Amino acid sequence: MPKHWSGSRLDLHISLDTAGGRRSGLESALRTAIREGRLAAGTLLPSTRGLARELGLSRGTVSAAYDQLVEEGYLTTRPGSGTSVAAVPGGTREPAHHVPAPAAPRHDLRPGLPDVSAFPVRAWLASTRRVLARARPEVFGAGDPQGRIELRAALAGYLGRTRGVITTPDRIVVTSGYHQGLGLLCGVLVAGGARTAAVEDPSHDVFRDVVRRAGFTVRALPVDAHGARTQELTHRDAAAFLTPAHQYPTGVPLRPGRRQALCAWARSTGGLIVEDDYDGEYRYDRQPVGALQGVAPDQVVYCGTVSKTLGPALRLAWMVLPPHLVEPVTRAKRHADQYTETLGQLVLADLITTHAYDRHIRAARLRYRRRRELLLGRVATVPGLVAHGVPAGLHTLVTLPPGAPAEDDLLARCDRRGLAVRGLTELHHDPDGRPQGLLVGFAAPSERAYPAALDALFAVLADRDAPARPGV
C-alpha cells in the first residue's frame, strides 16, 4: 500500500507491500526507491523513530530494515550523522530528477544577451531582504493581472525620467517577458478586427512569428540607413512594429523625419505603433534617443524588459498602453497566466526606487562600451569587413567583403569551433538575395572570456586557427 513519511528532513512516497512481512516490505520499498533513483546517493533518511511513527511500524522493524540495507550496501550510517543512501555500484540508473543541461557554446557572441556573470547579486539580495521584511501576508497570495502597483509606480517614474515616456501607473501592464506581452497585445488587436501589420525588414524572426501566429498578415517594412521606411505605411496597416531607438538587427536609429511621418500615419489612419525599446538603455556616444511614445502617447504601445539589463531568466517586462487598450490587455493577461510572479516585481520596484538599477546600468554601459571598442578595433584589421549601426546596444552588425565565404559557411565554421553568432539573412522576411553578414554580440561573455571569444571569431574570419591565449 502507498505510504508517505514526513519528518524534519524528508518527505517520500513509497509503495509498502507487507504481504511478505513488514520488515521485508520496507526493505523492498527502500531498495526499489534507491535502484530507481528516487532516493539519490547522499539522501539523508528519517530517524528510525520518526519513520516508525509515520509508517505505523515498530522502531525495531525499521532498525532491522536499515541494518539489512546497510549490509547490502544500499545505505550507510555514521554515528551522529544518521542514515543516508550509499552510492550503489552495479548499474543503478541516474536519479529520475537528473536531466543534463544543454551544452552551452564555448564562446557566446550571440546578439541581445547581457553578461549574466555581472548580475547585481548583492543589490538584488538587499532589495529582497527589504521586500520580505515589510511584506504583508497578502503579498504571498494571488496577484494583480495588471502587475503590482509598487512596480507600476516605480516604472512610471523611471521611464519618464530616463526614456521620456509619458504615463501613469494605471496605463502599465506587467508581463512575464516581452514575448508574452507581444502575444497578448497581438491577440487583442486581431480580436478587435486588425488584419495587416507592418514589421521591419530585417527584424527579429521570433517576434515576427509571434505577430504572424496571432493572426496578422505580416507586411515587410524595409529598413535602410535611416531606419524603417515609414513613408511606405498605408491605411491598410493596422499596426506597425518597430525598434526605433536602435533597430534590430542593423543598429540604425529611426531618423527624426521618419519618426514624424510614423506619428502622422498613426494619427491620420488610427494605426497603432508598437515600440520595442530595444537596447534603449545602452547608448555609448551621446544621450539615448528618447522613446517615440513621448511624442505620441495615445498612438504608441511602449514595450520594455529587464532581459538585457539584468538577465532573461527574470521574466519581467512591461507595456505602456493607450487608455483604450489597458482593460482588454489586462483581461488577456488574466486568461493567459493570471499574473506575473509577485516577489520579483517587488524586488525590481525596490531596485528602481533606491536607484540600484540605475547604478547597475551605468556600470554595464561602461563595460559594454569597452567591449564594443575592442570588437571594432579587430574589425578594422580585416580588409573589407564593415561594422554598422550607431554606438549602442549589445551587438554590432558586421557585413562581409565581396568574395568572402558564404554566410552559411562562416556560421558552420563558427559552430565547429563552439562559437555562437547569428547570421543576417535569416532575419529578412525573404532571405533570397539579401546582404550577408554576422550579428556579433559583445556582452554575453564574462570579462575574462571575451578576448578569447574575439580570437575565435576572427580566426574564423581569417580562415585560420585561433592563437592560444595563456590562462584562458
pLDDT tens digits along 37-73: 888 888 888 888 888 888 888 999 989 999 899 888 8
pLDDT at 89: 61
Determine the average pLDDT of the residues in 345-373: 96
Q: What angle do helix axes 48-55 and 59-72 make, rounded to 10 degrees? A: 120
pLDDT per residue as tens digits for the range 261-316: 999 999 999 999 999 998 888 999 767 778 999 999 999 999 999 999 999 999 99
The per-residue pLDDT for 98 is: 55
pLDDT band at residue 464 using 50, 70 and 90 as cut-offs: low
Question: Which pLDDT band holds residue 6 (cuts at 50, 70, 90)?
Answer: very low
State residue 470's pLDDT score.
39
Is pLDDT of 103 > 80? no
Angle at 424 between CA 272 and CA 472, to 5 degrees: 120
The whole-number pLDDT of residue 469 equals 40
| pLDDT, mean of residues 314-328 | 97
Q: Which three three-digit cell numbers place residue 49?
A: 523513530
The pLDDT value recorded for residue 393 is 92
Please report which helix (H) or strand (E) contains residue 371, including its range.
helix 356-379
84-98, 104-118, 147-161, 246-260 — which is least confidently predicted?
84-98
When the pLDDT of each residue in the chain is averaged and rounded to a whole number, the result is 89
Cis peptide before 323 (omega within 30 of 0): no
Position 124: which residue type?
W
Q: How confident is residue 471, by pLDDT bands cut at 50, 70 and 90? A: very low
* All cell numbers assigned to 366: 561602461
Which stretch of 92-96, 354-358, 429-433, 442-446 has the lowest confidence by average pLDDT?
A: 92-96
Evaluate if residue 104 carries a pLDDT over 90. Answer: no
Q: CATH number for the 119-358 domain, one of 3.40.640.10, 3.40.50.620, 3.40.50.12280, 3.40.390.10?
A: 3.40.640.10
Per-residue pLDDT, 12: 66
At 215 the pLDDT is 96
Q: Give 466 or 156, the one with higher predicted confidence.
A: 156
Strands 317-320, 300-305: pairing is antiparallel
What are the domain boundaries of the chain? Answer: 2-85, 119-358, 361-461
Cis peptide before 202 (omega within 30 of 0): yes
Q: What is the structure's pLDDT at 466? A: 42
Residue 6, strand partner residues:
11
**Amino acid making up residue 240:** A
**Percent with pLDDT over 70 in the chain:** 92
Q: Worst-scoring range by mean pLDDT, 87-91, 294-298, 353-357, 406-410?
A: 87-91
Give the position of cell 520595442: 276
* Cross-strand bridge partners of residue 196: 217
Q: In this predicted structure, what is the pLDDT of residue 248? A: 95
All cell numbers assigned to 359: 547604478
Q: Is the pLDDT of residue 472 over 80?
A: no
Is 361-461 in CATH node 2.60.40.10? no
Report the share of the chain in percent with pLDDT over 90: 68
For domain 2-85, give the fold. Arc Repressor Mutant, subunit A (1.10.10)
Distance CA(140)–CA(148), nearest Å, equals 12
Residue 234 CA to residue 217 CA, distance in Å, equals: 14
pTM for this predicted structure: 0.84
Q: Which tens digit of pLDDT belongs to each residue from 193-218?
A: 999 999 999 999 999 999 999 999 99
Strand 217-224: give its sheet, edge to edge: 172-175, 317-320, 300-305, 272-276, 239-242, 196-201, 217-224, 227-228
Cell 516604472, residue located: 155
Smallest Cα–Cα separation from 343: which of 111, 187, 138? 138
Q: What confidence score (pLDDT) does residue 92 get?
A: 47
pLDDT at 2 over 90: no
The amino acid occupying position 169 is P
What angle do the packed helices 342-353 and 121-134 form, to 10 degrees?
Answer: 110
Residue 272: strand pairing partners: 239
Could you count the other beta carbons within 10 Å of the beta carbon of residue 72?
A: 13
